[in-house]
Amino acid sequence: MSDPKVARHIAFDHREPSQDACYADIPGELSMNVQTALRARGMTRLYSHQAEAFQRAQSGENLVIATPTASGKSLCYNLPVLHALSVAPDTRALYLFPTKALSRDQEEHLRVDMREAGVTQGAITYDGDTPGDARRAARERAGVLVTNPDMVHAGILPNHAGWARFFANLKFVVVDEVHVYRGVLGSHLANVLRRLQRVAAFHGSHPQFLFSSATISNPSAHASRLLGSPVGAVCENGAPSAQRRILVYNPPLINAELGMRRSYISCAVDRAVDLLKANVSTLVFGQSRNNVEVMLKYLRDRLPESELAGEQIQAYRGGYLPETRRRIERGLREGEVRGVVATNALELGIDIGGLDAVICAGYPGTMAALWQRFGRGGRRGRGSLAMLVPSSSPLDQYLAQHPSMIIETPVEEARIDPDNIEILIDHLKCAAFELQFRSPGDTFGDLSSTSLQEALEFLETQRMVRAVSARSGGKTYHWSTEAHPASHVSLRSLSYDNFVIIDVFHERVIGEMDFRSSHTMLHEQAIYQHEGQQYQVEQLDYENHKAFVRKVEPDYYTSAQTRVRVSVLEEEASDILTFGAGITLPVGRGEVDVVEKVIGYKKIRFHTHENVGYGEVYLPAVEKATTAFWIVVPELVVSALPYSRVVVMDGLRGWLKALRAVAAVGLMMDPRDLGSAFVDEPGIGSNGEFSSPRSLVEVQEGRHSFHFEPTMYLFDAVAGGIGLAQRLWEDQSALVRRSAELIDTCPCQHGCPSCVGPGGQSNSDDSLGDRKSAALAMCKHLGVVG
């Protein structure tokens, strides 16, 4: 890093000081067995947050423990459970981890803890890989059942009668890494917990919930929303931490005028090569599976066999088969693997030992995720290096320009909407299958009784449930089809509708991909990258969810182009925004219909990233109803600007890009959860920019069929929405102001990927104006900026 060529581009260099520990005595009421076990392990006292967690758990409070990675969180929830198992041997506890890998890992640790505390009830991992005998043991004997929400959802709850004894004695439910359950997954989990509490109550128990979370800004609110009842937070960290050096390396500008920077992927690889050559074990996080595979290939190409054998550098991402992942994890722990390129699959607490350095190629979209990734370095109390290499997206460059935000901005809130209509209905079906609903009387978590009644009546009209007049008055609703609803509902759109990827040459399955990604990554002719190898998709059997691929060695990869159409279904709220100039800007919020279709792909050459070809794709469109926030730009404003209409429209497209970037960082939203679309002509579709420079947008708008004005849409990427539009609505004026500031303060001249997008290029010859000038003129005209 001392190399001046490198040092010049370090935008931020911060040393996070080490922190001393804050201790507390082992609580006296903790069972003697557990106390002895702790002392035998050399622990004569606890960190303050561990003691606090135990004390508060003893009072029966539902808790969320939100302290940083490696602060001894698991002991916080293990102590109350071990104590209970020790004093009341019939006690049962349920541990939920977000992934199978993590549950296997934690089961080992838990077993050691239990053995040392003289607790003999045992801990069993219960998931799809658990053999039949162990399943029976799990049902009948295990004190602690370690599993994941998916298994509870599809395996345990629908068969809860077989778990009667378990549920009757269920005292604790531990949910680890609760920050992962955001968005759709979180909304699903909240409903699984509603069902779990309902079933437990049927068997006569009301378990206490213990959550743990990485640092998020609203742990208590998030956990309470998940559980549907109040959850207290333990946030005061008493654990010590080692020094960590945080760097931001901004890829050098190649063309300052166009705001073009060197590829952040190449730069991240450069820095990783430096570190690996200096024998520093390094973990590189990429943004997508595709990026990860590209970087793996670059790294292997760059490091000669003599210095580092190919097997010492591995990729790690979802879509690999479990045994491959186990092998890589083991390699990391044992130090055989020196470098690994990973997606967020490695963000979670899988034990991979300590790595000396972490490089994030691209901002992961949220501060919480960035810190989680940084936290994977230096786990054994040694100092560590954490580096962010921002991409040229507006969001990343916004951070690069204001790098101190990394240590100053609070981490994001986790947001869920358990009452998302599609998710709710799916889980109500599952709940009705598990146990009939009595109405009035029965509840479903914190869902209002009116909503529950309406939903049940809806299911009745669908003939999913049958209403029976109960002898005691009221009605009961019984599941009344032969279907097993849980097997049709996937918590992470990651099971039954997955596409299977088949290598036609070896005739074997090499991976799986979820439904949505498959459209952009597995269309015919796509280059599918897997473990550093390139495969071309020869045939996509859309109906049977199979992609047939063959290994190839192309000099390019492919990038899909998507077309999006938006139409308003219902306006739920509308308002007028006014800034300095006194001009009104109508804004709205409501339900929209979004149709996305992959229409083609670009071929992009490795290393140079030049566009070397184009192909068409014929795949069915994916349609969803979701919620959106929109801003209408009155035609009067458009015509008031000293530019042609075409240029103004392009400027608005650029402004939308800035709006989206600001929404992500300023209002703390994950950009992946947020879609955007621009419509500039009534009725017919038009092409424009959508979400990333590669995508095309076709927007159709029915609302203003007589009187049309250009509209910018920001919508929830998730069907049904998880409340993002509402959140944007609440902060509408801050959103508009900050986006204008972003454009105003960006150093580029005609627009660059970091503000309004590179649209300036195409218009650079146009003496009438460019995208950035138009966008800025618009903001100034409205009086948003001076």
Partner 1 sequence: MSLKRKLARLPRPSISTPVNQQVSSIKPQVEKREEGSVPPENFLLATDTSVVASLKKSRDGADRQQSTLSVRLEHYQQVYSARQRRRSSDLTSTATSVPIAAADASTPEWETTIEQQDAVRIMTHRLSLDYQQGVVPVCRALRQDTLSLSRLALSAEWAEVDLHRVVFLDTETTGLGGGTGIIPFLIGLAWFEDETLVVQQLLLEELGEEEDMMARVHERVAQATGIVSYNGKTYDWPLLRTRAVMTRRPPLPTRPHLDLLHCARRVYRKRLGHVRLVDIEEHVLQMRRHEDISGEEIPSVYWQYLEDRNETDLDKVIVHNVHDLISLVATLVVLTEHYTTLHPDDDPRDQLCRAKVGFRAQDWGRAEQFAQAVVEGQGSPEVIVEAAVLWARLCGRRRDYERAVSILHQATDKVAVASVFAAALHLEIAKIYEHRLKVMDLAWRHAQYTAAAEGLPAQEKRLSRLQRRCKRLAVPITSQLFGC
User: For binding to partner 1 (CB under 8 A), which residues are involved?
Assistant: 158-162, 164, 419, 421-422, 425, 432-436, 450-451, 454-455, 458, 462-464, 466, 468, 470, 476, 478-485, 488, 569-570, 572, 590-591, 625, 720
Q: Give the C-alpha separation, 336 to 175, whole Å.
A: 32
Residue 480 or 732: which CB sits closer to partner 1? 480
Distance CA 123, CA 146 (A): 7
Nearest to partner 1 of 449, 644 (CB atom): 449
DSSP 179: G
Please work out, in degrees rounded to the nearest 5, the angle formed at the alpha carbon of residue 589 by the alpha carbons of 586 and 591: 135
Q: How far is the CB of 594 from partner 1 (least distance, A)?
A: 13
Instruction: Name the residue among 575, 569, 579 with its Cα closest to residue 730.
Output: 575
Rounded (5°) CA angle 750-753-754: 95
Closest CB to partner 1 among 591 and 741? 591
Cβ nearer to partner 1, comparing 183 with 590 = 590
Q: Give 508's Cβ-side CA count (13 Å radius).
A: 3
**Residue 264 token pair:** 């952040």
Judged by beta carbon, residue 541 or residue 572, the one nearer partner 1 is 572
Taking the least distance from each CB to partner 1, the nearer of 480 and 764 is: 480
Contact 674, 722 (CB under 8 A): no
Token pair of 89, please?
């041997």
**Residue 478 or residue 704: which is nearer to partner 1 going by CB?**
478
User: Closest separation between CB of residue 159 and partner 1, Å?
Assistant: 6
DSSP state of 404: T
Residue 493 CB, shortest distance to partner 1, in Å, is: 16
Total number of residues shown for the chain: 786
428, 195 contact by CB (below 8 A): no
Nearest to 411 by CA among 235, 176, 190: 235
**DSSP output for 645-688:** HHHHHHHHHHHHHHHHHHHHHHTT--GGGEEEEEE-SSSS--EE
Q: Report residue 741 as tokens.
A: 């500031």
Taking the complex as a whole, the smallest distance from the CB of residue 373 to partner 1 amounts, in Å, to 37
- Least Å distance, CB 590 to partner 1, is 8
Taking the complex as a whole, how short is the minimal distance between the CB of residue 88 and partner 1, in angstroms?
Answer: 23
3-class secondary structure, 72:
coil
Q: How far is the CB of 432 from partner 1 (least distance, A)?
A: 7
One-letter amino acid at 531 equals E
Q: How near is the Cβ of 522 to partner 1 at its closest, in Å?
A: 24
Q: Which amino acid is at 476?
A: T
Which residue lies nearer to partner 1 by CB, 130 or 217?
A: 130
Least distance in Å: CB of 478 to partner 1?
4
Amino acid at 357: A
Closer residue to partner 1, CB minimum distance, 433 or 629: 433
Question: In whole angstroms, what separates CA 614 from the centre of its chain?
Answer: 31
In the complex, the smallest distance separating the C-beta of residue 228 from partner 1, rounded to whole angstroms, is 16
> In the bound complex, what is the minimum distance in angstroms from residue 164's beta carbon to partner 1?
5
Which tokens is 335 given?
């130090």
Residue 23's Cα: distance from chain center in Å? 34
Q: Strand 584-605 and strand 611-616: pairing? A: antiparallel
Cis status of the peptide bond prior to 440, with omega within 30 of 0: yes
* Longest pairwise C-alpha distance within the chain: 84
Q: What's the gap between Cα 700 and its chain centre?
A: 29
| Minimum CB distance to partner 1, residue 566 (Å) | 16
8 Å CB contact between 214 and 235: no
Q: Please list the residues that pair with 696 across neighbouring strands.
A: 689
Q: What are phi and psi of 528, to 5 degrees?
A: -100, 125
Indicate the residue type of 622. V
- Residue whose CB is less far from partner 1, 324 or 480: 480
Q: What is the DSSP letter of 487?
A: G
Closest contact distance (angstroms) between CB of 483 and partner 1 is 5
CB-nearer residue toward partner 1: 417 or 689: 417
Q: Is 102 or 465 the residue whose CB approaches partner 1 more closely?
A: 465
Closest to partner 1 by CB, 8 or 516 = 516
